[in-house]
Amino acid sequence: MKYLIISIIFLLTTSTFAQKPCDFTTNVVDSIGSYKATKEYLMYEKNFAGNSSYVFTSIVISDGTPILNVQFLEKSNNFIKAKCFDKNSRLYIQLDNSKIVTLFHIDQESCGSLVRDDKGMNNRVLTGYFMFRKGEYEELKKSTASLIRVKYATDVADFIIRKAIKSELDGSLYEPDSYFMNYIHCLEDKN
């Protein structure tokens, strides 16, 4: 029993100290309102046969409303089919403790943009803003994430979240499975 109590105290203190500092790259307050956003974080990367897919997230607080900004980037020599968000779009985060957190896309249609770069590659960028239900992000503090499912306007896509990614894009090491545990506290940041 003594070892169980010591183990629980150790887990609670290490999880408290595991949180990363909130690095707000945007922090604007003016007469219209306030907007804060953390640095983008790589959650998913796939490079295969000349095609690349990336998913980045950042935490946003807009006039006190907690939002998850998700950016999807695809690169290919071939044409890239458009995916769109509408008011019925959802983002589901499956946690390793079997819970599922559902986020709702803001009521704004978006299909992103297709840009051809100087190397002749097609680049499709789609950004979505997903709102948390009040208090639901508390679940994200408790467990690592294993999957993100995105319900687009006409399609569904799954992104398996790995424990660690050494990015081919920038060479950095990311730990996407613990992203929410490390950064979700930024939604409560009062500064």
Q: For the chain, what is the domain count? A: 1
Q: Measure the CA–CA gap between 124 and 137, rounded to whole angstroms.
A: 29
Confidence of residue 169 (pLDDT cuts 50, 70, 90): confident
Contact 92, 101 (CB under 8 A): yes
pTM here? 0.84
Query: Which structure tokens are listed for 122?
Result: 């097609």
For all residues of the chain together, what is the average pLDDT?
Answer: 87
Pairing of strands 65-76, 90-95: unpaired
- pLDDT of residue 1 exceeding 60, the answer is no
Confidence of residue 89 (pLDDT cuts 50, 70, 90): very high
Domain region containing 130: 2-188
Backbone angles phi, psi at 121, to 5 degrees: -85, 140
**Angle (CA) 170 55 16, round 5°:** 85
More confident residue, 149 or 108: 149
pLDDT tens-place string over residues 59-79 = 999 888 899 999 999 999 998
Q: Which residues contact 54 (CB under 8 A, 6 or more apart)?
A: 42, 44, 45, 46, 72, 73, 74, 169
Q: Measure the CA–CA gap between 82 and 88, rounded to whole angstroms.
A: 17
Choose from 20-24, 59-63, 160-164 the range with maximum mean pLDDT.
Answer: 160-164
